[in-house]
Amino acid sequence: MTRPNGSRWAAPARPVWEEPPGRAGLAAKGTVLVLACLAVLFPLWIVVVTSLSSKKTITETGGLVVVPRDLTFLAYQELLSGGQVTRAAVVSVLVTLTGTLFSMTVSVLCAYGLSRPGSTGHRFILLTLMATMFFGAGLIPTYLLVQTLGLTDTYLALILPSAVSVFNILVLRGFFMGVSPELVDSARIDGAGDLRILWQIVMPLSRAVIAVITLFYAVGYWSAWFNASIYLSDQNMMPLQNVLIQLAQKQEIPVGLGQAVKAGDLSGLAVQMAVMVLALLPVAVLSPFVQKHFRKGVLTGAVKG
Amino acid sequence: MTTLDTQTAEPAAPAATGRTPRDRRRGGRRSRTTGHVPLGRRLRRDRALLLMTVPALVLVVVFNYVPILGNVVAFQDYDPYVSANGVTAMLESPWVGLAQFERVFSDPGFWHAVENTLVLFLLQLVLFFPVPIALALLVNSLLRPRLRAFVQAVLYLPHFFSWVLVVTVFQQILGGAGIIAQTLRQHGHEGFDLMTDPAVFKFLVTAEGVWKDAGWGVIVFLAALAAVNQDLYEAAAMDGAGRGRRMWHVTLPALRPVIALLLVLRVGDALTVGFEQLLLQRDAVGPGAAEVLDTFVWWTGLRSQDFSYAAAAGLVKGVVGLVLVLSANKTAHLMGEQGVYRK
């Protein structure tokens, strides 16, 4: 973190009635917050630094590296030059992109369709969707269904069963309902159909919530591993998270990498850490951009339903 | 005239049905709620809106409602290999009544999973639940907006990591080959492996949960804090209330409804504790410590291929869970809160 200039970090005026904090209180508060932030950042730091370390550094420090020394991109080069991890990363990216696009299209349409209380069938459809927030059909019947539909061993099994989240639809709907009815009515008088109103008026006005929900869906697809683990049997089809499981928990070196690790320069640990970085990178890069919208987006859904 | 689909049928309609011109003003909220417009015309009027909900509705019906029918295998001795696909196999499998449920209830493994589930739930309630509240109070006391945004961003971050990643990170730090154990060994101490130690496993799982989601939970409490009327603080200060008393008499009462609501909803969700998280660690620590209801169903059903038995166990969990959620929601309503859905 660089400090751009003093004024942007300066505290706004404290309310007149509030006494300035005591030294002890300030120290205690600072310690807790710094420790909390470190608890998040330190493990990530270790993961990133270790992934960039040479085998020599890793051996010398007896395991994980804390202080970076002669950094190398060897692990990443190795991982991304074809083979199992490259394929898994491509699978993850493609499933996330298609899945998110699909989920967003379906959810935004549905949320808009439900954003006019009193329209025909409105209540019935809303109840049908919301009822699923209270129960699940269960793992076994869902598995049997996916199998019966012939989705096993296809990428559709990673997308369709969890494509819509009713919670996300409700959050979107809440926002769409907040768009001023006068605006919608005037567009309608000007001759716009529902699709056009959605695309040109409602969606541009709901950018914040659309960004948040897109991130939710994308993170969901990116992080998913369970569906792949039960519906896919072909190792070559596995997404990145599943490869990471095999790597971390069963200590298996990904196919095609064994040679490089055995030959010397590359530490198996660095490889594992590099896969972790690949798995966390997109999420860590994207989520801060959407952060400022979380409060609005999440709250409407989380607390007000 | 425009090409707006529903308008084409409109002009003649008012005269024919004798409705007021108000009904023609489509899009207005009032006209949509008037109940006396004939169904056919309302369907035509809202055709576009209805069509838009179809894809989501179809997906929800197929993947949430249709599988409910599949629960019939809990009353069968289901054999997936008796026929070519799942549906015909269901039709051909023999019915056994409640025999599967009898098996479930007399299985010590099932009750062990119930016990683990409840113990984990209670641990999380005591050790996890207060953390976001405390963090929110601390973050809220940060006055500098950029520092505050930075701290929040850092605390939220792990919420977006997958469980695979979280478990792996913990393993690298606390596991037998992890950084702490390694460092200890290098300095001549004895190493340890928290990840495979059944004795501390439940605390470990709770710690992982706190690491991943405590920062995320802060959002709700921060919003509640932002909504507190600042005049109350000023009035309290004028009356001589110090920092602590203001917290006790103004801040905490303001948070009370949110705390109560989240608590109630959490209790309703008691039978579902971290399926993915536990499944990932089940192998390392063994089912003794890590088996909860969800992993029990996964293991007996998908791994041991005892579909009917697992479906019966899943059905028991589902029914108890539904009762819990509904009563929690009811309680939330009784407390004057909105619960999961608007009344």
CA nearest A181 in B: which residue? B28
pLDDT < 50 stretches in chain A: 1-3, 301-305
Residues with Cβ within 8 Å of residue B332, at least 6 apart in sequence: B261, B264, B265, B338, B339, B340
pTM metric for this prediction: 0.86
How near does any CA of chain A get to the CA of B112, in Å? 20
Across the interface, whether the CB atoms of B314 and A15 are under 8 A apart is answered: no
Q: Which pLDDT does position A81 carry in this prediction?
A: 84
Across the interface, which of B171, B223, B298 has its CB nearest the CB of A139?
A: B298
Separation between Cα atoms, residue B172 and residue B181, nearest integer Å: 10
Amino acid letter, B265: L
Q: What is the mean pLDDT of chain B?
A: 83
Contact at CB, B164 and A244, closer than 8 angstroms: yes
Nearest to A102 by CA among A204, A203, A196, A221: A221
Q: Does A109 touch chain B (CB under 8 A)?
A: yes
pLDDT the model gives residue B193: 80
Q: Does A114 touch chain B (CB under 8 A)?
A: yes
Return the residue of A nearest to B38 by Cα.
Answer: A120
The residue among B104, B168, B316 with the most chain A CBs within 10 A of its CB, best to mutate, is B168
Distance CA A108, CA B56 (A): 9
Average pLDDT over residues B37-43: 84
CB A74, CB A270: distance < 8 Å? yes
Percent of chain B with pLDDT over 70: 87
In the predicted structure, residue B215 carries a pLDDT above the cut 60: yes
- pLDDT digits over A10-33, tens only? 667 777 777 777 888 889 889 999
Would you kindly state where each structural domain of chain B is located, as residue ranges?
A: 107-334
Residue B33 pLDDT exceeds 60: no
What is the per-residue pLDDT across B92-120, written as a single tens digit (0 to 9) for each? 888 998 999 999 999 999 999 999 999 99
- Residues of chain B contacting A1 with CB distance shorter than 8 Å: 150
- Residue A191 and residue B26: Cα distance in Å, rounded? 12
Contacts of A201 (CB under 8 A, 6+ apart): A179, A183, A184, A187, A192
Nearest C-alpha in A relative to B213: A40
Residues 6+ apart with CB under 8 A from A299: B219, B220, B223
Asked if A63 is an interface residue toward chain B (Cβ–Cβ < 8 A), one would say yes
> Exposed/middle/buried for B271, CB within 10 Å: 0-12, 13-18, 19+?
buried
The CA-atom distances, in angstroms, between B177 and each of A281, A285, B174, B317 are 24, 29, 8, 37
- Is A230 part of the contact surface with chain B (CB cutoff 8 Å)? yes
Q: Are A185 and B73 in contact (CB < 8 Å)?
A: no
Name the least confident of B1-10, B159-168, B212-221: B1-10
**Residue-level pLDDT at B4:** 39
| Cα within 13 Å of Cα(A12), Cβ side | 9
Tell me how far apart the alpha carbons of residues B91 and B70 are, in angstroms, rounded to a whole number.
11
Cβ neighbours of residue B321 under 8 Å, at least 6 residues apart? A135, B269, B271, B272
Q: What is the pLDDT of residues B52-93, one digit of tens each?
A: 999 999 999 999 999 999 899 999 888 888 777 777 888 888
Q: Mapped to the 3 state alphabet, what secondary structure does chain B carry?
A: CCCCHHHHHCCCHHHHHCCCHHHHCCCCHHHHHCCCCCHHHHHHHCHHHHHHHHHHHHHHHHHHHHHHHHHHHHHECCCHHHCCCHHHHHHHCCECCCHHHHHHHCCHHHHHHHHHHHHHHHHHHHHCCHHHHHHHHHHHCCCCHHHHHHHHHHHHHHHHCCHHHHHHHHHHHHCCCCHHHHHHHHCCCCCCCHHHCCCCHHHHHHHHHHHHHHHHHHHHHHHHHHCCCHHHHHHHHHCCCCHHHHHHHHHHHHHHHHHHHHHHHHHHCCCCCCHHHHHHHHHHHCHHHHCCHHHHHHHHHHHCCCHHHHHHHHHHHHHHHHHHHHHHHHHHHHCCCCCCCCC
pLDDT at position A266, please? 76
Residue spans of the domains in chain A: they are: 24-71, 83-302
Helix axis angle, A84-113 to A207-223, nearest 10°:
140
- Residue A113 per-residue DSSP state: H
- As a whole number of angstroms, the distance between CA A150 and CA A155 comes to 11
CATH fold of B107-334 reads MetI-like fold (1.10.3720)
CB contact under 8 A, A8 and B146: yes
Q: Is B25's pLDDT higher than 90?
A: no
Closest residue to A144, CB basis, from B45, B86, B342? B86
CB B271 within 8 A of CB B321: yes
How many contacts does A have with B, using Cβ atoms within 8 A?
325
pLDDT value of position A181? 85
- Mutate which: A144, A238, A293, vs B, most B CBs within 10 A: A144
**Residue B1 pLDDT > 70, yes or no?**
no
Output the CATH code of domain A83-302.
1.10.3720.10
The reply to whether residue B67 touches residue A15, judged by beta carbons under 8 angstroms, is no
Looking at residue A53, the DSSP 8-state letter turns out to be: B
